Amino acid sequence: MNLWFRLLLMLLRRPWRNPAQGLESTVIRMRVWPLDLDFNRHVTNGRYFTLADVGRMDFVLRSGAYRVAIRAKALPIVGDTWGKFRRELRLFEAFEVHTKMLGWDDKWSFMEHRFVSKGRVIGVVVMRGLFRSAKGIIPPGEFVRDLGLPEKSPAMPQWLTSWSENCDVMSSELRDEEKHQ
Q: What's residue 181's pLDDT? A: 83
Q: What's residue 19's pLDDT? A: 80
Provide CB contacts within 8 A for 79, sequence distance 6+: 108, 127, 128, 129, 130, 167
Yes or no: say if 166 and 80 are a contact pair by the CB < 8 Å rule.
no
Q: How many CA atoms does the CB half-sphere of 50 hold within 13 Å?
A: 17
Give strand pairing partners of 101. Answer: 111
Q: What's residue 6's pLDDT? A: 75
Q: What's residue 122's pLDDT? A: 97
Structural domains present in the chain: 3-179 (3.10.129.10)
34-61, pLDDT tens digit by residue?
989 999 999 999 999 999 999 998 999 8
pTM greater than the 0.85 cutoff: yes
Q: What's residue 9's pLDDT? A: 72
Q: What's residue 8's pLDDT? A: 77
Give me the residues of the chain with pLDDT under 70, please.
1-2, 13-17
Helices 3-13 & 45-63 angle (0-180, nearest 10): 30
